[in-house]
Chains A and B, each alone.
Chain A
Amino acid sequence: MMVFRIIVTGSFNSGKTEFIKQISEIEPITTDKPVTEQDLKEIKALTTVALDFGRLTIDDDIIIHLYATPGQERFDFIYPLLLKNALAVIILGDITDEKSLKDITKYYRKFYNLKRLPTVVALTKTDLDNKVQQEKIDEYLSSLPKDVPIKMINATDKEDVKKTVLLALQMLLESDEDQEEIV
C-alpha cells in the first residue's frame, strides 16, 4: 500500500476544508478524529496540528491523503514531515479578502524553499460579488514565478476542485518526459 499526499494551504477561511471535501471520500476531519486504523498510523505524527484530513482511494495499492494546513508559522516544524510523499501543493486565496491574497506569496515561498512540488494557486469564492480589485490582486501576485498557474475557482464546486488538482498532477506528469521511472 502506497500513500501519496496532496497539500492544500491558504489563510483561515480561504476554503481549504471545502476544497478537500469535494474530492475526499470521507467528510474532512480534523486529525484528532481519524477514522481507520490505517489512517491513524499514517497521520499519527501530524495529529498535534490543526490539519484537516481527507482521503481518496485510487486502487488496492494507492491511496491519496489530502491535507489542509493553515500554513501558519507556528506549524513550520511539521512541514518537512508533511511534505514526505507529497505530489502537489495547492495554495488557496480568498478573492474577497485582501489579507488572504497577500499571504499567497508567503505560503508559496515557504513550500518552495522546503521542497520542489508542482504548485497551483487557486483563488476561491470567485462566485461572490465582493471581490478585491483586479489591480490589487495583480499586485499581490506579481512576485509569483510566471510558471505558477493561477486558477479562479469556487471551492464548493467539485468540477473546479478536480480541475485544480488535475492541473497540478499534469504539471508533474509533464515535468520529466524523458526520465526513467523511479519507484
Chain B
Amino acid sequence: MIKKKVLIVCNEALLRDLIIFTLEKLQCEVELVDNPKDAVKRIESDNYNIVVIGDNKGTVVKSKLAEIIYNKCKRKPQIVIFKRINETIPKEFYLTVINKPTFHEALLEVAEKEGIQTTHMHQLEHIDLSNYIKLPHFRKTNIVKFFKNLKGNLKFHIRNEKEEILGFTMGADIFILKSTLDNIHSILLLENVETSTEPLNLNEFLSLTLDTKTFKSNLRDFIINCVDNINDKEKLLEIMPERDSIVTLKAPSYIVKQIDIIKENIDIDKLNTPENNLTINDIIENGENINKLKALICMHILNMIEIEQPASPSKYDVKIKKSFLKKIIDRIRGL
C-alpha cells in the first residue's frame, strides 16, 4: 500500500509533534516545514493528500497560504488550518478549520511556574532587517500623502531624525516589522519624514518571518485608528487645508457606510448628491466638529473622496485691471 503523504507547515514544537504523532499512527508519511516558502517549494515538486497549516514563521495569513497552496497543487489536497481564537478564516470548500488546541500552552505555563525552561518550545526568531530595502532611495514625503498613495505589496522604510519604521503591505494588510514609536498609531504625526519603498514579491513575502513583535492590521483599520489617535484640532486641520474645495464621493456609498467613524459622522447620501456642492468647510462645520473632521480625513487618506479646488482663474479672488494695480503700486512707492 502506498502511504498517504502529509505536509505540515508549523513551527510550534509541541503542537507539531502532536500532529505528527497522530498522523504517523495512521500510517501517513509526514513531512515538515516551518515556513510558507518551503511549503510552496514542496507542493510544487510533490503531491500531498493533506496539508496542515498551523502557526509558522511566515507573515502570510493562513487562509492566504492555503489558497496559494491549493492553486499551485496539481493534485488537490485536503487542507487543514489550525486556527487561533481571534483569527478569522473564510469558508472554502477545500478547507477544514480546526480550533487550535490550547491545552499544551496551559501545560507550558504550569511548567514555567515551576521554573522549568520552556523557551525552546516557543520558537522566537529575530528578523534580520539590515538590507531590508535592497536599493534604498529616500525621498522627503508628507506622511499623510505617503499613506494616501501607499499601494499593496510594497516594502517601506519610514524615518526622520528620531524615529524609524519598517514594514510592508500585502494585499489589504499592513505589517510593521520594526518601529521605534511608542504607539504605532501616532505615525501620522511624524514630521520631516523621508521614505523609501520597494516592491514585495510573493517569494519574499513567503520567506519573511514574523515574531511576536510583528504588528499586523488591515490597512483601512490602521489608517482609521491613526486618524482617530490625533486629537489636536490644529493638526487635523493641517491635513485638510484647502477648505473651500468641493468634495465628491468616489467610493461606492455602501462601502463607505461600512466604516463606523464615517457612517456616524458624515451624511453620505447628502455627500453623494453632486448638486449639493459640499465644501470641506460645510462638512466639518468650519472646523468646529472634530469627529466630522476625523471622518473626512479618513475618507481622504483612503481615497474615498475627490477634492477639487473650485475653478479659480487666478491664485487670488481679486478682480482688478492690471493697469490699475500698477498705478496703485506706483502711487504707494512714491509716498
Contacts and interface: CB of A to CB of B under 8 A. Distances in A.
Nearest to B243: A113
B315 A175 contact: yes
Contacts of A44: none
A158 B319 CA distance: 27
B317 A143 contact: no
Given A59-B327, A113-B281, A115-B317, A166 B332 contact: yes
Interface residues of A, number: 34
B318 interface: yes
B325 interface: yes
Contact of A173 (B234, B237, B329, B335): B329
Contact of A169 (B244, B317, B323, B329): B329
Contacts of A183: 319, 321
A172 interface: yes
B332 A56 contact: yes
Contact of A176 (B243, B244, B314, B327): B314
Contact of B325 (A117, A169, A179): A169
A165 B280 CA distance: 31
Contacts of A165: 332
A67 B48 CA distance: 85
Contact of B316 (A56, A58, A162, A172): A172
Contacts of A145: 241
Given A23-B332, A113-B281, A172-B316, A58 B327 contact: yes
22 contacts: A2-B324, A4-B328, A23-B335, A58-B328, A58-B331, A87-B318, A87-B320, A113-B244, A113-B286, A116-B315, A118-B316, A165-B332, A166-B333, A169-B325, A170-B329, A171-B316, A173-B322, A175-B315, A182-B313, A182-B319, A183-B319, A183-B321
* Nearest 4 Cβ contacts at the A-B interface: A176-B314, A175-B315, A116-B317, A58-B331
Interface of B: 234, 237-238, 241, 243-244, 281, 286-287, 312-329, 331-333, 335
Given A58-B331, A87-B328, A179-B313, 8 more contacts: A23-B335, A59-B327, A113-B243, A118-B318, A166-B332, A169-B328, A173-B325, A176-B314
